[in-house]
Structure 1
Amino acid sequence: MADQRLERLIRQLQRHTVVGLDTAVFIYHFEAHPRYLPLTRVALSRIQQGHQQGVTSTITLMELTVRPCQLGRRAVAYHYEALLVNFPNLLLVEIDRSVARRGAQLRARFRVRPAEALQVAAALTHGASAFLTNDHGLARLNPIIDIIQLDD
């Protein structure tokens, strides 16, 4: 079963040169989630090796560092930030007016939550044709971007 999920993910990723990444991809990877680590390892390795360009936004930075900050583990939060900023072939996008406008359009058309709208808008604005997530609610965005689910 795991092998099938990995093969499916690789096939889906191979169709794209630029892939947006949702926060969950990084959380699962950094926390070594037993169900998702094999999948995130493949996705992030492909980006690191230059098979795809990855795109995520500063929303990922915020969401990724909340828990370490709550636990008083600022060093972990800084480490996560350093990993994001220095990750090869990963663009960490600031949320600017252009991304905010596109996010508003996505919210209006597809009724997605604000953070998700901004994440996908950042990916689209920077050329992504796919978005890797575990948020099944984003499947409604498939008409404009290929939503790739970690989970079946």
Structure 2
Amino acid sequence: MVGAAALEGFLKKHRKIGLDSSILIYFIQADLVYGPLANKIFEWMEAGRVQGICSALTLLEVLVQPYRRNDEERVGQFYGLLTTYPHLTWVALSLEIADLGARLRATYRLKTPDSILIATALNSEATGFIGNDADLKRVTELDVLVLGK
């Protein structure tokens, strides 16, 4: 597992980073293992030290469980937090991102959601990407940090 020092070293190298859905889930759910690392990323964004890039697909993934439980209050909390968080930009899926995602999926054999998230980061000129899936390390177009597993 990546330590706090390695995460800070990664964040120092980048002004703009793409975030995998898992990072937001760890942050929101205060995950016991990865929550502290996710908190550090969000602290950096809040302070304006790094710009976070998220695909609208991430919001879909984050909201599945609250909707499944019919927890409208939690859905509202997530929207309130995630759509107003400082230095966190949400990017809609476009034809350009879809095409780049298809190229990434074909080249690196990524899952479709992962290819869309990486394509969104690249399209937004991010130089780094943080996630928790070792398959992401196959991507060479940007610097990828995998938290653990």
Q: TM-score range by the shorter chain?
A: over 0.9
Residue 106 of structure 1: CA displacement?
Answer: 0.4
How many percent of aligned residue pairs carry the same amino acid? Answer: 30
Kept after mapping to 1: 8 A contact 2:136/2:146:
no
Aligned 1:61-80 pairs, distance under 5 A: 61-80=59-78
Residue 21 of structure 1: CA displacement?
Answer: 0.4
Report the 3-state secondary structure (helix = DSSP H, G, I; strand = E; otherwise coil) of the residue aligned with 1:86: coil
Aligned 1:3-152 pairs, distance under 5 A: 5-141=3-139, 143-151=140-148
Residue 42 of structure 1: CA displacement?
Answer: 0.6
Give per-residue Cα distances to partners, 1:4-57, cap 9 Å, x unaligned: 700110001110110000110011111111111110111111011111111001
Report the TM-score, using the length of structure 2 for normalisation.
Answer: 0.96
What is the rounded CA distance, in whole Å, between the counterparts of 2:37 and 2:82 in structure 1?
18
What is the rounded CA distance, in whole Å, between the counterparts of 2:76 and 2:91 in structure 1?
18
What is the rounded CA distance, in whole Å, between the counterparts of 2:76 and 2:104 in structure 1?
31
> Alpha carbon RMSD of aligned pairs, Å?
1.3
Q: Any runs of at least 4 consecutive aligned residues in structure 1 with deviations exceeding 4 A, and if so which?
A: none
**Equivalenced residues, count:** 149
Give per-residue Cα distances to partners, 1:98-141, cap 9 Å, x unaligned: 11111011011111011110011011100111111001111101
What is the rounded CA distance, in whole Å, between the counterparts of 2:78 and 2:24 in structure 1?
9
Give per-residue Cα distances to partners, 1:66-103, cap 9 Å, x unaligned: 00000110221122122121010011000011111110
What is the rounded CA distance, in whole Å, between the counterparts of 2:92 and 2:124 in structure 1?
11
Unmatched 5+ stretches in structure 2: none
Unmatched 5+ stretches in structure 1: none
